[in-house]
Amino acid sequence: MAGVLNIPQSSFFRSIPSSRKAPRASISIIRATSETPLSSTSTSTTTNKEAEKLEASFTAPPNFKPLEPKPFTVKEGKILYILGASLALFFRLGTGVFVSGYSVSFVSENEIPPNQYALEVAGYKVKETSKVGPRREKPIEIYDLESCPFCRKVREIVAVLDIDVLFYPCPKNGPTFRPKVVQMGGKQQFRYMVDPNTGTAMYESDDIIKYLVGKYGDGNFPLMLSLGLLMTLTEGFAMIGRMGKGSPFCKIVRETLVELELPHIQNSCARGSSKRQLLYQKAGHFQVPYLEDPNTGVQMFESADIVEF
């Protein structure tokens, strides 16, 4: 899986039940959506003035300057880390690497304009196409447990369908979004999906995949997502190299966002995605992961540097 990660701007603050004492535990940094606000009986509250002070505190580190992207370069000391994250590609046979209906052909350099993203191989350019379903106005919202194999297969179908998703990380014992899932759905189970475009909400990975494929795809399940027990086993094996976490450069950035319980919009950029061209036009270069933080104005490539940021 590949993607552009966007940390939604802290456009509003709401209280969230939490046992943490740190100030940020009482706010959630998310874009305004059609969500139901949490109960007013929450134990942590933030006044408007306090919220303004907290929001104003989001700034880039002093003298911070994003480094230039270095394609296929692994930072010193991170080789084993990346190799471990790469096991998923082997066990899952690249599921989530290609958009639905992906096809490829080699064309002459003149057929693709210089300002259009395309790989170059032996004097030819690679023309990639795909067949995606209808697009929605708002991103799908998924409350996700990173180490769960059932959550992983939902993330795979998101990449296959080229869907943008607002992920709410729900790590074990996480105090921020786990209570919200109980409040909305009645039980603490992950994955939990909310589609603000239709008002649909559901648990169960197979039900979520069936819904997404039917609503935003062609109705057909990818082979590696329809193998029952074998699929579950390979999803689990895919995480062995990460000790319960599981895909290379994008993966290590997502792990950090999860550990910090930071909501983030993932713009999937699997092969065949039109969003590769959008990033190419915006940044003058295509490489993932690419992080946008509207709270600080920082936009940057390079996974290890993103993690440090």
Note whether residue 55 is domain-resident. no
Note whether residue 52 is domain-resident. no
pTM score, whole prediction? 0.70
The packing angle between helices 205-216 and 149-160, to 10°, is 10
Bridge partners (DSSP) of residue 195 are 200
- Considering its fold, how many domains does the chain have in total? 1
Note whether residue 224 is domain-resident. yes
Strand 264-268: give its sheet, edge to edge.
200-202, 192-195, 140-144, 164-169, 264-268, 3-6, 290-293, 298-300
The yes-or-no verdict on residue 264 having pLDDT over 90 is yes
Note whether residue 54 is domain-resident. no
Dist CA 275 CA 265 (whole Å): 14
Bridge partners (DSSP) of residue 126 are 106, 119
Compare 205 and 34 and report the one with higher pLDDT: 205
pLDDT score of 271: 87
Note whether residue 25 is domain-resident. no
| CA atoms within a 13 Å half-sphere pointing along the CA-CB vector of 218 | 10
pLDDT (average), residues 10-37: 36
Note whether residue 205 is domain-resident. yes
Start-end of H helices in 4-115: 48-56, 79-85, 87-91
Dist CA 75 CA 65 (whole Å): 17
Note whether residue 105 is domain-resident. no
Give the pLDDT confidence of 83-140 residue by residue, as tens digits.
Answer: 555 555 454 455 557 888 888 899 998 889 888 988 888 889 999 988 888 877 899 9
Compare 50 and 113 and report the one with higher pLDDT: 113
Dist CA 4 CA 225 (whole Å): 23
Q: How much of the chain exceeds pLDDT 70, in percent? A: 64
Least confident of 33-42, 149-158, 285-294: 33-42
Compare 16 and 1 and report the one with higher pLDDT: 1
pLDDT score of 260: 92
pLDDT (average), residues 283-289: 89
Q: What is the mean pLDDT of the chain?
A: 74
Compare 59 and 193 and report the one with higher pLDDT: 193
Note whether residue 121 is domain-resident. no
Pull the structure tokens for residue 27: 């706010």
One-letter identity of residue 263: P
pLDDT score of 60: 76
The yes-or-no verdict on residue 46 having pLDDT over 70 is no
* Residue range of the domain that includes 211: 3-8+66-96+133-308
CATH number at residue 266: 3.40.30.10
